[in-house]
Amino acid sequence: MPLHVDAVPTAILLLAMVPLWLPVLLTRRRVPVDPAAAVRAQTRRATLILALLLGLVTLSPNGAFSYLTLGFALFWQALGTRVMGRGIASTLIGSALAAAVAAGALALQWPVLAFAASTVAIALRVGVFPLHSGIVALAERSPATLTQVFGATLVLVLEHLRFTDHIPFAYDVAPWLVRFGALVTLLPGLMALVQPDLRGYLRTATAMHGGMILAALGAAGRGHEAAALMVMLTTTFALGGLGLSIASLEARVGPVSLVARGGRVQAFPRLAAAFALFAAAGVAMPGTAGFIADDLMLHALWGESVGSTVMIILGAAALAIASLRAYAAAFLGPAVSSLAPDLNRRERTVTTALVVILVILGFIPGVLLTPADLFLNASDAP
Amino acid sequence: MLIHWTLGLAASLPFLSALVLGVRVLSGGSRPSERFAFSVVEGGLSLSLLATTAVALQFGGVLGPAVGGEVSFGNWLQLGSYFIPAVALVDTAAVALALLGAVLTLLVARFSRTYLHKDPGFHRFFVLLALFASGVQFVAFAGALDVMFAGWELIGISSAMFIGFFHERDEPVRSSLRTFATYRLCDAGFLMAMVAVHELLGTTRLAELPRVAGLPSWEVELIAGLLLLAAMGKSAMLPFSGWLPRAMEGPTPSSALFYGGISIHMGLFLLLRVSPLLAAAPATEVVGVIVGLGTALYASAVARTHTDAKGALAHATLAQVGLILAEICLGFTTLATVHLTCHALLRVFQFLRAPNTIHDAHRIGHGAIAHAAATEAPTTGVLWRYGVSLHRLRVEELLDRLVVPVLALARRLDRLDRGLRRAFDRGAR
């Protein structure tokens, strides 16, 4: 199988490596970040194999081979999550199988099946209603592993945009995907407003972003690939960072309720700042990748369905309010003292890396998006 | 070329100073001194004021040939035919707001150095102040709706954080949430209008807005209505006025700058910017006039019954803001610009003097109030008006009643979701 190095897939692969390796870097400490110790299942060796498989995926110019390798990689990742619950593992295995089906369909020149299978694979991994149970359970049980799952999903989305969305069926089905994506963006956005704890907030934020990704993938079928890629990138880094912040906080203080004020900002100022930045990026704050992603996506969606655009704007507004509520409940209020330290050096490095990526993509998005748009538009149909 | 540099510096220097101070505070080691924090932000704000003044001088033709209209910085992002233009618009309104913002922010920064001395949130205050200053410059000089929205959001976020500044108490945090919720819901109007303008005109550049005259009237009315909604939220027009008295929970200097000086007028500035669009939407103009005059009446009545100085002042400000909205919607844009500028200057002064006003009232005010109460027996009508004004027409309760079913729906959905996930977990086992 000939391999080919392209700048855009390589850049996306490098970006995907960041969330992929973060949990590994963090768990090298004696005290694991995740209280459930679930991240132990993701050893460095497992991550290395996963990284190599994903590297192979992005280097291959052949869609069937890429999807087959992806199927292996995703299956490998799913095996590592068995200890977290069968629901989670079965969702991720289902996603791997869907990727394998997409590979077979591409090999047999059945583009409609390939598109459908690839879309299902992504929907399962980003937590789109009603396929969200496994991923939101992962968000509740191990936010750090969720970050890693998003890293691999970024590569899956790239392959989807490269090989399966250049077909007439993708064009025809786009308005329906957009409408459904918008609906499943608005509902979790509303649900985020009434969550009693921080993990519930992360769960609904994940489901809401899943809806946004589905809508963006729908719009990609009509030529807005860069918007879909940017939405996935933002989700990966903003939600990934948010998951890591929540995991770090809970490792120090246990489960965090949103019913009363926590008053932790004086004890954990850096953690509070990290949480605020990631949450803000997730709700399109100017200066972060989220702002560009929202702008691109809304322009892409308007042409397909005005009502869907309105639903997504309202869903994002609801999540923004829920984010400030979560921040206020977790960090503001009468100061409480804590013996636990603020973010340690390793966690600071990880957080800084994620923030820098989000800010660079927010200020100079063209660095990645302009070549990515050219590359994805130039990709041939299968 | 000089105009590019000065415009860039005016908007970016306050942001950079916020970044420097924020990174220094969070980077560990000993907490930086108040002097350092103030110097960094004051430096950024002073240089920004200098740059803004240079822009004003270039606009006035003092530094060579007069520079005005659009100043392009290329595109923020370009993907095929789609692009986000990085363009500034230099005109009288922009220069007036930018200068006003830069001067008032710097003055308030100097005032706050003493006012917040030894406050635990000293550093946080100056980071937020610098972010706000950057947001104001972005809004003032924005030549496209996308760029303006970026500054608009910075102002909204810093405003919400200032209201919750004294977060040890519960009320400021709740007020901050309420304000932010109002902003975000009304900002949805801005976003929708922005996307619609891009789709219909092919660009969001403000200089291209007069082209809306060629669009069907219902589309123009819809876009203008959405922008009016955004302006109503930011400027606390009826029925969104409930957050304004709550916003007084923040420190006095930030109240002065936000709700006396700049932020409360931002909605009006947006409408001034899109006045060609408003002029083509007569129905929206009528709504704007009704909302403006209604808010002016409401705020005048409430200001007379408010028992705290800042709250009364906030409603007095709102009354004038309502009048300015009516002026804009009646087409008196020059009058509105002058009114806005003079009003902002007066209110900042009054807000900064609010603590002294309270002191004065304690010394000399009570006697006059007691005399009035003894000589004028209120009639039933007066008492009714007083009661209604005291409860602010119960507008907030009305809005709360609209939110309750939405939250009830969210709770029902959440319960349904939890049930589904339990069933899924059982199935997986």
The reply to whether B213 falls in a domain is yes
Cα B360-B366-B372 angle, rounded to 5 deg: 130
A357 is in which domain, residue-wise? 7-378
Minimum mean pLDDT among A25-39, B34-48, B409-423: which range? A25-39
> A364: how many CB neighbours lie within 10 A of its CB?
13
Interchain proximity B167–A328, CB inside 8 Å: yes
- pLDDT-flagged residues of chain A (< 70): 1-3, 26-43, 379-382
- A183 contact B CB<8A: no
A295 touches chain B (CB under 8 A): yes
Task: Check residue A378 and give left, alpha or beta (phi > 0: left; psi -120 to 50: alpha).
Answer: alpha
User: By the CB < 8 Å criterion, does A196 face chain B?
Assistant: no
Partner residue opposite A291 with nearest CB, options B150, B164, B177: B150
Chain A residues with CB inside 8 Å of B75's CB?
366
Interface check for B403 against chain A (CB to CB < 8 A): the answer is: no
Q: Does A347 touch chain B (CB under 8 A)?
A: no
Is A195 within the bounds of a domain?
yes
- Beta strand B69-79 with B82-90 is antiparallel
B207 in the same domain as B262? yes
* Per-residue pLDDT at A382: 45
CA distance A273 to A367: 27
CA torsion through residues B53, B59, B61, B67, sign: positive
Flag whether residue A373 sits within 8 Å of chain B, measured between CB atoms: yes
Q: Say if B163 falls within a structural domain.
A: no
| pLDDT one-digit tens code per residue, A152-186 | 898 889 888 888 778 888 888 888 999 999 999 99
pLDDT value for A381: 46
Residue at A2 is within a domain = no
B294 and B347 inside one domain: yes
Task: Calculate mean pLDDT across residues B363-375.
Answer: 57
Q: How far is CA A121 from the centre of its chain?
A: 13
In a domain, A269, yes or no: yes
Torsion, CA B85, CA B86, CA B92, CA B97, rounded to 10: 120
Show the tokens assigned to A233.
């990138």
Whole-number Å distance between alpha carbons of A93 and B337: 62
A30 domain-assigned: yes
Peptide bond into B85 cis (omega under 30): no
Amino acid at B294: G
Same domain, B54 and B115: yes
Query: Hey, is the C-beta of A35 within 8 angstroms of any chain B C-beta?
Result: no
**Nearest-10 crossing angle of helices A143-163, A44-59:** 10
Closest CA to A124 of A114, A138, A111: A138
Is there a single domain that holds both residue B302 and residue B181? yes
Is the domain of B344 the same as that of B223? yes
Residue B75 phi/psi, 5° resolution? Answer: -115, 140
Q: Choose the final residue of a domain: B143, B166, B187.
A: B143
pLDDT of residue A374: 81
Please tell me the distance from the alpha carbon of residue A218 to that of residue B79, in angstroms, as a whole number: 18
Return the pLDDT at A189: 93
Contact B164 A332 (CB under 8 A): yes
Locate A300 and state its tokens: 């892409």
A1 within some domain: no
Count of structural domains, chain A: 1
On whether the CB atoms of residues A34 and A252 are closer than 8 A, the answer is: no
Residue type, B273: R
pLDDT band at B259 (very low <50, low <70, confident <90, very high): confident
Cα-based distances in Å from B372 to A299, B183, B316, B366, B389: 60, 40, 21, 10, 19
CA-to-CA separations, A245 to A240, A327, A332, B242, in angstroms, rounded: 9, 11, 16, 34
Among B355, B389, B404, the domain boundary falls at B355
Q: Which residues pair with B71 in a beta bridge?
A: B88
Q: How far, CA to CA in Å, does A13 sit from each of A123, A257, B321?
A: 20, 36, 52
How far does B246 lie from chain A, in Å, by closest CA? Answer: 17
Which residue has tokens 């969200």?
A132
Establish if A336 touches chain B: CB-CB under 8 angstroms: no
Tokens representing A164 are 């399966």
Nearest to A328 among B157, B177, B199 (CB): B177
Q: What share of chain A is helix, strand, coil (3-state, %, to 5)?
A: 75, 0, 25
B399 touches chain A (CB under 8 A): no
Q: Calculate Rg over the CA atoms of chain B.
A: 23
Q: How many domains does chain B have?
A: 2
Are the CB atoms for B41 and B130 separated by under 8 Å? Answer: yes
How many beta-carbon pairs below 8 A join chains A and B? 130
| C-beta separation of A232 from A154 below 8 A | yes
| Contact (CB<8Å) B414/A194 | yes
**B14 φ, ψ (degrees, to nearest 5):** -60, -40
Of A290, A309, A313, A316, nearest in space to A188 by CA: A316
Q: Are A266 and A335 in contact (CB under 8 A)?
A: yes
DSSP string spanning A22-54?
A: HHHHHTTSSS-SSTT-GGGGS-HHHHHHHHHHH
Q: What is the pLDDT of residues B126-181, one digit of tens each?
A: 999 999 999 999 999 999 998 999 999 999 999 999 999 998 888 999 999 999 99
Using an 8 Å Cβ cutoff, are A39 and A144 in contact?
yes
Q: Which helix (H) or strand (E) holds B388?
A: helix B380-390
Residue of chain B minimizing CA distance to A314: B188
Nearest chain A residue to B145, by CA: A295
Q: In a mutagenesis test of the A interface, which of B15, B417, B420 is the best target, namely the one with the most A β-carbons within 10 Å?
A: B417
Is residue A148 within 8 Å of residue A244, measured between CB atoms? Answer: no
HSE-CB for A202 with a 13 A CA cutoff: 32
Tell me the β-bridge partners of B90: B69
Cα separations (Å) of B300 from A83, A145, B297, B315?
Answer: 65, 56, 5, 7
> What is the H or E stretch that residue B89 is in?
strand B82-90
A272 → chain B, closest CA residue: B26
Structure tokens at A150: 């998003």
Q: In this structure, is residue B79 part of a structural domain?
A: no
Residues of chain B contacting residue A370, judged by C-beta atoms under 8 Å apart: 77-79
The ipTM value here is: 0.90
For A267, the enclosing helix (H) or strand (E) is none
Q: Are A164 and A211 in contact (CB under 8 A)?
A: no
B257 with B197: CB under 8 angstroms? no
Q: Give chain B's mean pLDDT.
A: 87
* Domain-embedded: residue B250: yes
Q: Shortest Cα distance from A191 to chain B (angstroms)?
A: 5
A291 contact B CB<8A: yes
For residue range B181-202, what is the model confidence (pLDDT) as tens digits? 999 999 999 999 999 998 888 8
The last residue of one of the domains, among B321, B355, B389, is B355
Tell me the average pLDDT across B411-424: 86
φ/ψ of residue A279, rounded to 5: -65, -40
CB contact under 8 A, B410 and A309: no
Contact B191 A298 (CB under 8 A): yes
| CB < 8 Å to A334, chain B | 168
Q: Is B424 close to A328, i.e. CB distance below 8 A? A: no
In a domain, residue A242? The reply is yes
Give 3-state DSSP helix, strand, coil % of chain B, rounded to 5: 80, 5, 15
Banded pLDDT at B83 (limits 50, 70, 90): confident
Residues B323-356: tens digit of each pLDDT: 999 999 999 999 999 999 999 999 888 888 877 7
B89 forms bridges with which residues in the sheet? B70
Please state, in angstroms and rounded to a whole number, the distance separating the CA atoms of residues B36 and B23.
13
Q: Give yes or no: residues B263 and B314 share one domain.
A: yes
Question: Which of A87, A335, A370 is nearest residue B168 as measured by Cβ atoms?
Answer: A335
B30 in contact with chain A, both atoms CB, cutoff 8 A:
no
Does B180 reach chain A within 8 Å, measured CB to CB?
yes
Q: What is the mean pLDDT of residues B290-314?
A: 87
pLDDT in tens, A40-76: 555 677 777 778 777 777 777 888 888 888 888 888 8
Residue B134 and residue B190 in one domain: no
Predicted local distance difference test score (pLDDT) of residue A272? 93
Q: How far apart are CA B191 and CA B189, in angstroms?
A: 5
Rounded CA gap, B186 and A128, in Å? 27
Task: Estimate the crossing angle of helix A143-163 against helix A133-141, to 10 degrees.
Answer: 140
How far does CA A268 lie from the centroid of its chain? Answer: 26
Q: What is the reported pLDDT for B212?
A: 84
Evaluate whether residue B397 is within a structural domain: no
Q: Are residues B99 and B220 in the same domain?
A: no
Q: Which residues contact B371 (CB under 8 A, 6 or more apart)?
A: none
Do residues B186 and B309 share a domain? yes
Taking the Cβ of residue A324 and every Cβ of chain B, the question of whether any pair is shorter than 8 Å is answered with yes
B261 touches chain A (CB under 8 A): no
CA distance A263 to A259: 12
Distance of CA A138 to the CA centre of its chain: 12
- Residue A173 included in any domain: yes
Contact A286 B149 (CB under 8 A): yes
Give a yes or no: residue B398 inside a domain. no
Q: Is residue B363 part of a domain?
A: no
- Identify which has the larger pLDDT, B2 or B373: B2
Chain Cα centroid distance, residue A169: 25
CA of B42, closest CA in chain A: separation in Å?
22
DSSP string, B298-351: HHHHHHHH--SHHHHHHHHHHHHHHHHHHHHHTT-HHHHHHHHHHHHHHHHHHH
- Domain, as residue range, for B312: 176-355
A130 HSE (CA, 13 A, CB side): 9
Give Cα A347 distance to the centre of its chain.
20
Tokens of B106: 């710097």
Distances (CA, A) of A42 to A84, A133, A203, B94, B110: 11, 21, 21, 55, 53
CA distance A84 to A138: 8
A194 touches chain B (CB under 8 A): yes
Residue of B nearest to A309 (CA): B192
Q: Which of B79, B164, B196 sits opposite A369 (nearest CB)?
A: B79
